[in-house]
Structure 1
Amino acid sequence: MNINFGLTADDYSNYRVQYPEKLFIKLQEFGLGEKEQSLLDIGTGTGFLGRKFAEKGLEVTGVDIANELLNVAKKLDKEQGLNITYVSSKAESLPFDENSFDIVTAAQCWHWFNSVEVLHEINRVLKKNGKLIILHLDWLPIKDNVVSKTEELILQYNPNWAGNGGNGMYPDWLTQVSEAGYRNIETFTFDLDVNFSHDAWRGRIRASAGVGASLSDEGVKKFDTDLKKLLNNEFQGNLIIPHRVFC
C-alpha cells in the first residue's frame, strides 16, 4: 500500500490529536524538555510535537520526507512566533554531524522506519548520554464503539490497511532499541478520552494512513460520505474517543 501523508496536509494539521500536557510533565521527570536542550524530531509531520518543545525553550529541528507537511509546519510556527528548523530528509539518512543533539524524538512514525538503520543514525547524531523518545498516541477500538465501527468501514475501502485492531502498546520497540545497544530503557503509558464532533472525527480519519494517505480523491470522498452516514445513524451527538499514550 503506497502511503503519502502529504496528501492529507490540511486535515493532518487541523484534526490530529495533540499530545496532552501530562506527557511533558512526565518527561520532565527524566530531565527531558529543559530549556536550551537541542532536540531533533524525526518524522515531524506538521511539527505538532516539536512545537510543544519549542514553546518550552528547546532548540528544535524537524525532519520529514513530505514537503507538503513541512510547509504547513512552517506556517503554523510563524503564526505562533516559533523558530524551528526543518529539513527534508529520510530518517534513515540524517544530514547532521555526529553528537549534534541532546534528544531525538519520534512520534506517530516509528512503524514507518527501518528500525535498524534509523537507530544507527540516531545513535550517530545523539550526544553522549543523549536520549531517544519514541511516542505513540492511538485511538482504541473497543467492541462496537465508534473506533471499531470506523475501522470496519476503512477495511471495506482499503482491505490492505494494517492499522486496525491495535491496543496502543508496542513491546517490539523494546527489543529493537536493546539490540541496537541502547540501555536504561524505561516505558510508561496512560489513557485519555478525547472529545470529537462528527466533523472533527471525519477529518481525523481522512488524515489517516488508511484513508487520505492512500485512497484516491474519489475514494476519500465516498468513504467520507459513508462515515458521515454511519455517525448520524449510530452515534448521535459528540463522540468520546478513548486513546492511549505509549512512550
Structure 2
Amino acid sequence: MIHDNRIDGGKGFDWGRASMDYARFRDIYPPEFYQKLIDAGVCIKEQRVLDLGTGTGVLPRNLYEQGALFTGTDISEEQISQARQLCAEAGMDIPFLCCPAEKLPFPDNSFDAVTACQCFFYFNHETLALKLYHMIKPGGLMAVLYLAWLPGEDVVAGASEELVLRYNPSWSGCGEYRHPIEIPDVYSPYFQLESSEVFDLRIPFTKESWNGRMKACRGIGASLSPEKTAEFEKEHLALLDKTAPEKFSVLHYAAVAVLKSKKTTSF
C-alpha cells in the first residue's frame, strides 16, 4: 500500500488490486500516441530502453516490433506478474523487474533512453533525477508521457468522474485539463528539454471497456475494497445504460515531453 501526501490526500492505494482490470482495459493508447516517441527517436531499433512504472508492460509491448531492447520496472508485484504473463502469451522477450524507480540497481550508462508513461508524478524526483542521469548514456533521451480524459468537455467522462468522487472523495486524479508535462527543476542540471507537446485524442470504447477503464483508475480499483469496487461497477454500468450508446469515444488529451541528457562523456 502506497501513502503519499501529494496524492489523494495521503489515502493509501495499491495498484496490485487493480492489476487484472489494468491488464484488460488500460491498453488504450492509439498509434499516434506511440508515433510521437518514434518521431522523437525514442524506442527505436536496437535502442536499450528502460520503461519506468511499466505497469502491465503496455508501452514495451506495443512498441516491441520497433526493435528496441526494453526493460520494464514497476513497484507492484501484481502488475509485473501481469506484464510477464502478457509478454509470454505474445511471445515477447522483455525482462521485468519489481523495484521502486528510486532504488533501481542498474549501473552507469546502461540505457540509451528512459520512458515514463502515466507515472512520472509518483516519483521522488530529488532522488531519481541524479540516478537517471547516471543510468542513461551520454546524449541519451528521456520521454515522459501522459493521457487523461477531459471531464469538462466529454459528457460520459464527466458523469463517470462524478461517480468516482462519490465513492472516493479523496481521489485527486479528477478535473483534468490540457496542460504540458511539468518537469521539476531538479532535472535541470542533468537534462535539457528537447520538445513538449499537448494534443487531443478520441479513444474508442464500449460500455464494458469504459467501465473497466474506470475501475482500473487509482480512485476505484487501486483504492477501494473489492466489495465497494463491485458496487461502483454496478452503478457505473447503470449510468452508462442511460448516457452512452454501446460504442462511443471519449475525448482525451495527451502530453509528451522529451528531454536529452547533458552528459557528454561516460564516467
Alignment TM-score > 0.5, same fold: yes
For 1:89 and 1:245, the matched residues in 2 are separated by 27
For 2:219 and 2:71, the matched residues in 1 are separated by 28
Aligned equivalent of 1:37 = 47
Shift of 1:187: 0.8
Greater shift in the superposed pair: 24-33 or 59-68:
24-33
Q: Which runs of 4+ in 1 moved over 4 A?
A: none
Residue type of the partner of 1:245?
A
Shift of 1:9: 1.2
Residue type of the partner of 1:151?
E
Aligned equivalent of 2:134 = 124
2:249 aligns with one of 231, 240, 243: 240
Shift of 1:54: 2.3
Aligned equivalent of 1:77 = 87
Determine if the alignment matches structure 1 residue 231 to structure 2 residue 257: no
Alignment of 1:75-224 (within 5 A): 75-143=85-153, 145-173=155-183, 175=185, 177-178=187-188, 180-224=189-233
Structure 1: give runs of 5+ residues left out of the alignment.
Answer: none
Aligned equivalent of 2:3 = none
Alignment of 1:26-65 (within 5 A): 26-65=36-75
SS of residue paired to 1:172: coil
For 1:27 and 1:139, the matched residues in 2 are separated by 20
CA contact (8 A) 1:36 1:57 kept: yes
For 1:105 and 1:142, the matched residues in 2 are separated by 29
For 1:121 and 1:55, the matched residues in 2 are separated by 28
Q: TM-score, normalised by structure 1?
A: 0.94
Identity within the alignment, % = 36
Greater shift in the superposed pair: 113-122 or 90-99:
113-122
Shift of 1:90: 0.3
Determine if the alignment matches structure 1 residue 68 to structure 2 residue 86: no
Shift of 1:210: 0.1
SS of residue paired to 2:187: helix
Greater shift in the superposed pair: 180-189 or 221-230:
180-189
CA contact (8 A) 1:55 1:82 kept: no
Aligned equivalent of 1:6 = 16
For 2:181 and 2:48, the matched residues in 1 are separated by 28
CA contact (8 A) 1:103 1:132 kept: yes
Residue type of the partner of 1:225?
K
Structure 2: give runs of 5+ residues left out of the alignment.
Answer: 1-10, 257-267
Shift of 1:30: 2.6
